[in-house]
């Protein structure tokens, strides 16, 4: 009787252990847990804008310069979103009055594989839609700090 009871308990414990170790590939229920799932892709989208200068040789040159300005603005925005902005400021106070206030912003970034997904030129304004996409695993490697 005692041996039968021990065998029953041991087999019941083994069944519970085996059934507890099995898992299903279900999506996580908690939204915070989704950040650690590496099967999906992450992407950032920005819109860069550039204005055509007035003193150009031809309309084609104006469009080309506006396009270049829009792409540069898009890269700057991507750098701000991915790496942040360094802000420096200084103020000069004399005789209890503010004499001078200066604020500078700086972005240092390396952007790779940015794609221009849309571009338009209308009324002297060139607009581009830029996107950077990468796997969540690569995203975590680069930006987890």
Q: What does the pLDDT average to over 50-69?
A: 93
pTM tops 0.75, yes or no: no
Query: What token pair was written down for 21?
Result: 């170790």
What was the pLDDT predicted at 6?
Answer: 61
Q: Is the pLDDT confidence value at 83 over 60?
A: yes
Query: CA–CA separation, 37 vs 21, rounded Å?
Result: 20
Predicted pLDDT of residue 115:
93
Q: What are phi and psi of 65, to 5 degrees?
A: -70, -40
pLDDT tens per residue, range 4-19: 666 666 666 656 656 5
Range from 2-6, 32-36, 51-55 carrying the lowest mean pLDDT: 32-36
pLDDT for res 119: 96
């Amino acid at each position: 009787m005692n041996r039968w009871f021990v065998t029953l308990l041991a087999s019941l414990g083994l069944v519970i252990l085996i059934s507890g170790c099995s898992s299903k590939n279900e999506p996580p229920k908690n939204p915070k847990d989704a950040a650690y799932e590496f099967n999906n892709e992450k992407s950032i989208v920005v819109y860069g804008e550039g204005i055509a200068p007035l003193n150009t040789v031809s309309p084609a040159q104006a469009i080309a310069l506006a396009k270049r300005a829009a792409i540069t603005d898009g890269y700057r925005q991507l750098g701000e979103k991915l790496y942040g902005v360094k802000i420096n400021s200084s103020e000069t106070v004399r005789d209890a009055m503010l004499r001078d206030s200066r604020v500078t912003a700086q972005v240092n970034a390396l952007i790779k594989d940015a794609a221009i997904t849309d571009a338009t030129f209308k009324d002297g304004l060139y607009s581009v839609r830029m996107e950077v996409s990468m796997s969540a695993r690569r995203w975590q490697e680069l930006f987890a700090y």
